[in-house]
Structures are given as structure tokens and as C-alpha cells.
Amino acid sequence: MEQFSFYDQVYQVVRLIPTGRVTSYGAIASYLGTRGSARMVGYAMNAAHTAYPPVPAQRVVNRNGLLTGKFHFGTENLMQQLLENEGINVENDKIKDFKELFWDPSIELEINKKQNLK
């Protein structure tokens, strides 16, 4: 069985986030069984521009819906622009309707797994 680095595991999860939805660093860490390592997920997102296939890093925000990683996108507004291109409203560096747009991998991926088993 192939062994994936922590960063690769993070990227695999982030690639599953549907367009127009967002998740948090902590939700990814929890899903990967490393609760409390949200900062490590953030480090992975900071390096995501080197990953292939591409990682939609703009879909990962902090637990309050803030665009805390925006400074790692090259230009100050690129993260917001990418989210707005997906139909996500951002105001003052915060996702509007964050709770409604939140995608929790621990719930969503379990639902998909159950649907695929049917």
C-alpha cells in the first residue's frame, strides 16, 4: 500500500471540496485523525501551489470563515477573487454564510462512502 505524506493527505481531502463550498484547517486535521494539528494543515496549504494536480487551497479558511491564508496567494485579493468566482460571497476577509457553505470532510466523505456502498 502506498504511503502518503501528511501534506499529500491534506491535498487529497482539499481536492474533494466541491466548488462553492469551504472547510477549515481544523476540520481537515480532525478528519485525518490529527485533531489539534490545524496549523500543520495551514503549512500544507501554504505549500499547495507546488502540488500536482492543483489544489483548490482557496476553499480552506479558518474556523470562523476568515481568509487567514490570503497572503500566500501571490496578490492580496486573489484568494477572495477565486472564491467569488465560485459564487462565494466574501466581506471584510470573511465568508458570508460560512455555516451554510461549510463542508465537513468527516461528515461529507462518510456520506459519500455510504452512498458508494449501496
Q: What is the CATH number of the domain that holds 54?
A: 1.10.10.10
The mean pLDDT value of the chain amounts to 91
Q: Does the residue 21 lie in any domain?
A: yes
pLDDT of residue 58: 97
In a 10 Å sphere around its CB, with 0-12 CB exposed, 13-18 middle and 19+ buried, how is residue 34 labelled? middle
pLDDT of residue 81: 98
Q: Does the residue 1 lie in any domain?
A: no
More confident residue, 115 or 49: 49
Q: Does the residue 80 lie in any domain?
A: yes
Looking at this protein, which amino acid is placed at residue 95? I
More confident residue, 23 or 108: 23
**Domain residues for 90?**
6-117
For the ranges 24-33, 80-89, 96-105, 108-117, the lowest mean pLDDT is seen at 108-117
Domain count, the chain: 1
pLDDT of residue 116: 53
Q: Does the residue 49 lie in any domain?
A: yes
Looking at this protein, which amino acid is placed at residue 86? E
Q: Does the residue 42 lie in any domain?
A: yes
Per DSSP, helices labelled H in the chain are 6-14, 25-31, 38-46, 78-85, 98-101, 105-117
pLDDT band at 113 (very low <50, low <70, confident <90, very high): low
pLDDT of residue 35: 87
More confident residue, 115 or 10: 10
